[in-house]
Amino acid sequence: MDHFNYHGGELWAEDVPLARIAAEVGTPVYVYSAATLTRHFGLFRQALDWTEHLVCFAVKANSNLAVLKLLGDLGAGMDVVSGGEYARARAAGVPGERIVFSGVGKTLAEMRQAIEGGIRQVNIESEPEMRALSDLAAGMGAEVPVAIRVNPDVDAKTHEKIATGKSENKFGIPIAKARQVYAEAASLPGLRVVGVDVHIGSQLTDLEPYRAAYAKVAELTRALRADGHVISRLDLGGGLGIPYRRDNNAPPLPIEYGQVIRETVGDLGCEIEIEPGRNIVGNAGVLLSRVIWLKEGEGRDFLIVDAAMNDLLRPAMYGAHHDIVPVVEPELGAALRPVDVVGPVCESGDTFQKAAELPPLGAGDLVAFRSAGAYGAVMASEYNSRPLVPEVLVRGDQFAVIRARPTFEEMLARDSIPEWL
Ligand SMILES: *Cc1c(COP(=O)(O)O)cnc(C)c1O
């Protein structure tokens, strides 16, 4: 459920007509609903209310400071994968004790930043990283709480670019080798082993891969405890999918996911951390765009909109689908016709949807790309020198620009021409 609905024949975000935002801020623009963010975060908390837990929002899904502040104020922790994301979480007011540092290639500078700024836990992804973190922390006189990310070799049954839990993927330490790596971790200075970490992929629409992975984590936890390690936390990753098509079978609900966690690891007495990103913010955002032209081609028509692949990369990158809906509600029984919805970028890959069934639309009409709150704005670029897409947050009947569209001057000011040229 989200808060983008038609009222009186027009699409609104909560109590604000999207047309008003388009008129005041311009298009393309991402629009997020605070009520939807709040609701989705609450569903995960509720799913784990049977145990001590921390829901760590995966910052990479949407790293706008206002989004992080909203979630942080609700009590969310943050899962960060870079120094930049760490800086964002801190700037949004989230204390280090609620920040988990994940990622397969943390640099020494990033590890130092986290140790200096305070960190709840570093999720170690490789032995070289473990040894480097130990040296660094010991040299700084610190002791860093760590979990080791294990790769359970489970097929998440998702898109190959976002599957992370198979042994062929670059992530984590093979679970068969985990006891040996934990033994070394326990012997190293500067590290304090606190838990086990796993994350098998994104946009999962089936709970069985989770069940398989978490069963392996439970078995490993028992073995590690038998080896003498104190395992008090399990970080079970993120990845729960969202419905990208309205007419589709919906993926499992957070409450059902929480039940799988309970059934697989609930008896271990561990604090549970999860790292949902997409499921919290995906359906809390739309990309609002205006039609530039309807171009009638041979055998097919093109609806050329002012959003492009640089603003919303998922269709070009993953062949992803976003429902595209007109902002003016079509009359009941209005005739639909197929159009290819495309952006202005000079690549045929800049196609959002082929043969989208839409009512007649023309220059100046508004459309919304649904489910665009996650991996939308964060993946945007200035390709084709299109200024970075702005973002707006709605709460009730108020809205604010939470990232402004740069002017051409601002965009150009980041370049410089060397004196010797
Ligand atoms: C990407 C990622 C997540 C979030 O995945 P979602 O599908 O957005 O829930 C969580 N944890 C880690 C380590 C990740 O890399």
Does residue 259 sit in the same domain as residue 303? no
Q: How far is the CA of 79 from the centre of ligand 1 (A)?
A: 8
In 297-407, beta strands by DSSP E: 301-305, 324-326, 337-342, 351-358, 366-369, 391-395, 398-403
Q: For residue 58, tell me if it sits in a domain.
A: no
- Given 246, 274, 302, the domain boundary residue is 274
Does residue 235 sit in the same domain as residue 144? yes
Determine if residue 97 is labeled as part of a ligand binding site.
no
CA dihedral 63, 66, 71, 77 (to 10 degrees): 50
Q: For residue 333, tell me if it sits in a domain.
A: yes
Q: How far is the CA of 162 from the centre of ligand 1 (A)?
A: 9
Determine if residue 314 is labeled as part of a ligand binding site.
yes
- Given 274, 299, 318, the domain boundary residue is 274
Best of 54, 202, 378 to mutate for ligand 1, by most ligand atoms within 8 A of CB?
A: 202
Distance (Å, whole) CA 122 – CA 145: 6
Q: For residue 52, tell me if it sits in a domain.
A: no
* pLDDT for the residue 81: 98
Q: Are 163 and 201 in contact (CB under 8 A)?
A: yes
By three-state DSSP, how is residue 342 classified?
Answer: strand
Q: The whole model's pTM is what?
A: 0.97
Determine if residue 275 is labeled as part of a ligand binding site.
yes
Determine if residue 347 is labeled as part of a ligand binding site.
yes
Closest alpha carbon to 76 in 94, 90, 88: 94
Distance (Å, whole) CA 411 – CA 309: 18
Ligand 1 atom showing the smallest separation from residue 240 Cα:
9
Q: How far is the CA of 10 from the centre of ligand 1 (A)?
A: 34
**Number of domains present in the structure of the chain:** 2
Distance (Å, whole) CA 18 – CA 104: 39
Does residue 242 sit in the same domain as residue 125? yes
Determine if residue 276 is labeled as part of a ligand binding site.
yes
Closest alpha carbon to 151 in 232, 207, 225, 209: 209
Determine if residue 370 is labeled as part of a ligand binding site.
no
Q: For residue 386, tell me if it sits in a domain.
A: yes
By three-state DSSP, how is residue 70 classified?
Answer: helix
Distance (Å, whole) CA 243 – CA 282: 9
SS3 content of the chain, % helix, strand, coil (to 5): 35, 25, 40
Ligand 1 atom showing the smallest separation from residue 374 Cα:
8
Does residue 222 sit in the same domain as residue 297? no
Which residue's alpha carbon is at the smallest distance from atom 10 of ligand 1? Answer: 238
Q: For residue 42, tell me if it sits in a domain.
A: no
Does residue 299 sit in the same domain as residue 246? no
Does residue 295 sit in the same domain as residue 333? yes
Range of the domain at 295: 4-31+282-413
Which residue's alpha carbon is at the smallest distance from atom 3 of ligand 1? Answer: 238
Determine if residue 257 is labeled as part of a ligand binding site.
no
Q: For residue 48, tell me if it sits in a domain.
A: no
Ligand 1 atom showing the smallest separation from residue 149 Cα:
13
By three-state DSSP, how is residue 413 classified?
Answer: helix
How many residues are recorded in the chain? 421
Distance (Å, whole) CA 71 – CA 332: 38
Distance (Å, whole) CA 98 – CA 93: 10
Does residue 148 sit in the same domain as residue 253? yes
Ligand 1 atom showing the smallest separation from residue 123 Cα:
13
Distance (Å, whole) CA 125 – CA 107: 12
Closest alpha carbon to 257 in 36, 99, 40, 29: 40
- DSSP track, 80-91: E-SHHHHHHHHH
Does residue 337 sit in the same domain as residue 357? yes
Does residue 113 sit in the same domain as residue 256? yes
Q: How far is the CA of 237 from the centre of ligand 1 (A)?
A: 6
Does residue 171 sit in the same domain as residue 267? yes
CATH number at residue 141: 3.20.20.10
Q: For residue 287, tell me if it sits in a domain.
A: yes
Q: Which residues line ligand 1 (CB under 6 A)?
A: 58, 60-61, 79, 81, 102, 199, 202-203, 237-239, 275-279, 374
Catalytic annotation, residues: 346
Q: How far is the CA of 365 from the centre of ligand 1 (A)?
A: 35
Closest alpha carbon to 282 in 57, 7, 16, 56: 57
Does residue 219 sit in the same domain as residue 293? no
Q: How far is CA 406 from the centre of its chain?
A: 24
Does residue 362 sit in the same domain as residue 235? no
Ligand 1 atom showing the smallest separation from residue 277 Cα:
8
Closest alpha carbon to 47 in 281, 270, 218, 252: 252
* pLDDT for the residue 297: 86
Best of 40, 56, 57, 60 to mutate for ligand 1, by most ligand atoms within 8 A of CB?
A: 60
What is the full per-residue pLDDT of the chain (421 aa) written as tens digits?
A: 789 999 999 999 999 999 999 999 999 999 999 999 999 999 999 999 999 999 999 999 999 999 999 999 999 999 999 999 999 999 999 999 999 999 999 999 999 999 999 999 999 999 999 999 999 999 999 999 999 999 999 998 888 888 888 878 888 999 999 999 999 999 999 999 999 999 999 999 999 999 999 999 999 999 999 999 999 999 999 999 999 998 767 899 999 999 999 999 999 999 999 999 999 999 999 999 999 999 998 889 999 999 999 999 999 999 999 999 999 999 888 899 999 999 999 999 999 999 999 999 999 999 999 999 999 999 999 999 999 999 999 999 999 999 999 999 999 999 999 999 9
CATH number at residue 317: 2.40.37.10
Distance (Å, whole) CA 70 – CA 93: 10
* 337-342 vs 301-305, strand pairing mode: parallel
Q: How far is the CA of 362 from the centre of ligand 1 (A)?
A: 38
Amino acid (1-letter code) at residue 212:
A
Q: How far is the CA of 199 from the centre of ligand 1 (A)?
A: 7
Best of 79, 86, 200, 272 to mutate for ligand 1, by most ligand atoms within 8 A of CB?
A: 79
* pLDDT for the residue 72: 98
Q: For residue 408, tell me if it sits in a domain.
A: yes
* Region label for 239, one of left (φ > 0), alpha (ψ between -120 and 50) or beta (otherwise): left
- Given 217, 252, 274, the domain boundary residue is 274
